[in-house]
């Protein structure tokens, strides 16, 4: 039996990076005490979600992966607690800027960087001003004898993201997120859609999905939380509402999930020879 315990964090974040690191660190410590081995903070937890407006001075927030204070703090914490922490951060690579994730192992080592593939652009979420589309392609990571896939926020809306990582061997899917209200339409609540999109990935790939979001009012956007952990059937085994701050925990038997995935036959019955339209840019 191959069991793994995972955690998703939900919290409000401030303009003080050190305070945010301390808040996230405390929740990670709580999760580790409860047995979590892989612990997921929200997207860009280093500070407020700055992409709501276009401000060229904010490019100064970006740092190379080996210099970023949030990444370095999570490395130290991961090593001390012997846990894995997928860490979202604002990356500077020469003249280029990315919305990235450092995969930090339980030894505190950066095993690699994933750069967000899908970059949104709309009222309140003007990320194309700040980020280049990622050039890493989707990635999976070996962790405790299990392969995990990680997308970042807008990536999670695309079934291609989940299926590509599954075809690469992923056995758990993680999505750090920063999502909330829509400034152009105060009556539009996407929290249900957001969950359903990822629950669909869980069902159609027979894989657990772990999603972490922030909460609270930040300028134009009220972040709505609703972080969750869904099992391979798409059932919610742990969830928050729009205001709770804390840690979600779940344990999965990966061997059993592998059997369920094989029995469903989704990967046996695929017909990739008919899927060429998916890769056409029109």
- For 33, residues 6+ apart whose C-beta sits below 8 A from its C-beta are none
Can you tell me the distance from the alpha carbon of 51 to that of 36, in angstroms, rounded to the nearest whole number? 31
The answer as to CATH 3.60.110.10 being correct for domain 3-264 is yes
Can you tell me the distance from the alpha carbon of 278 to that of 71, in angstroms, rounded to the nearest whole number? 35
Q: Nearest 5°: CA angle at 77, between 75 and 102?
A: 30
pLDDT score at 1 = 58
Sketch the domain layout of the chain as residue ranges. 3-264
Residue range 85-106, pLDDT digits in tens:
999 999 999 999 999 999 999 9
The reply to whether 143 belongs to the active site is: no
Alpha-carbon dihedral 63, 18, 153, 50, rounded to 10 degrees: -70
Among 127, 153, 171, 218, which one carries the catalytic annotation? 153
The reply to whether 43 belongs to the active site is: yes
Among 116, 127, 171, 218, which one carries the catalytic annotation? 116
Residue range 158-216, pLDDT digits in tens:
999 999 999 999 999 999 999 999 999 989 999 999 999 999 999 999 999 999 999 99
Q: 100: which strand partners?
A: 89, 115
Averages of pLDDT over each 10 residues, the chain, 282 residues: 93 96 98 98 97 96 97 98 98 98 98 98 96 98 96 97 98 98 92 97 98 95 97 98 97 97 96 93 80
Task: Determine how many CB atoms are found less than 10 A away from the CB of residue 108.
Answer: 18
DSSP state of 243: S
Among 43, 127, 171, 218, which one carries the catalytic annotation? 43
């Amino acid at each position: 039996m191959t069991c793994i315990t995972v955690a998703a964090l939900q919290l409000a974040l401030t303009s003080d990076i050190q305070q945010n690191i301390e808040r996230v660190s405390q929740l990670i410590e709580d999760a580790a005490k409860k047995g979590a081995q892989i612990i997921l903070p929200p997207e860009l937890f280093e500070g407020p979600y700055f992409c709501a407006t276009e401000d060229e001075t904010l490019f100064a927030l970006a740092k190379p992966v080996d210099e970023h204070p949030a990444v370095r703090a999570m490395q130290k914490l991961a090593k001390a607690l012997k846990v894995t922490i997928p860490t979202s951060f604002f990356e500077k690579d020469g003249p280029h800027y990315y919305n990235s994730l450092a995969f930090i192992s339980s030894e505190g080592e950066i095993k690699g960087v994933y750069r967000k593939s899908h970059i949104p652009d709309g009222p309140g979420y003007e990320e194309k001003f700040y980020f280049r589309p990622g050039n890493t392609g989707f990635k999976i990571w070996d962790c405790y004898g299990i392969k995990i896939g990680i997308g970042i926020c807008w990536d999670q809306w695309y079934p291609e993201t989940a299926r590509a990582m599954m075809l690469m061997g992923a056995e758990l899917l993680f999505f750090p997120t920063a999502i909330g209200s829509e400034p152009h339409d105060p009556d539009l609540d996407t929290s249900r859609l957001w969950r359903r999109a990822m629950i669909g990935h869980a069902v159609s790939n027979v894989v657990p999905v772990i999603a972490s979001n922030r909460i609270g009012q930040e300028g134009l956007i009220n972040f709505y939380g609703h972080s969750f952990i869904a099992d391979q059937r798409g059932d919610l085994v742990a969830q928050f509402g729009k205001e709770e701050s804390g840690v979600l925990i779940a344990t999965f038997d990966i061997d059993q999930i592998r059997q369920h995935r094989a029995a469903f036959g989704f990967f046996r019955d695929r017909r990739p020879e008919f899927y060429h339209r998916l890769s056409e840019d029109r």
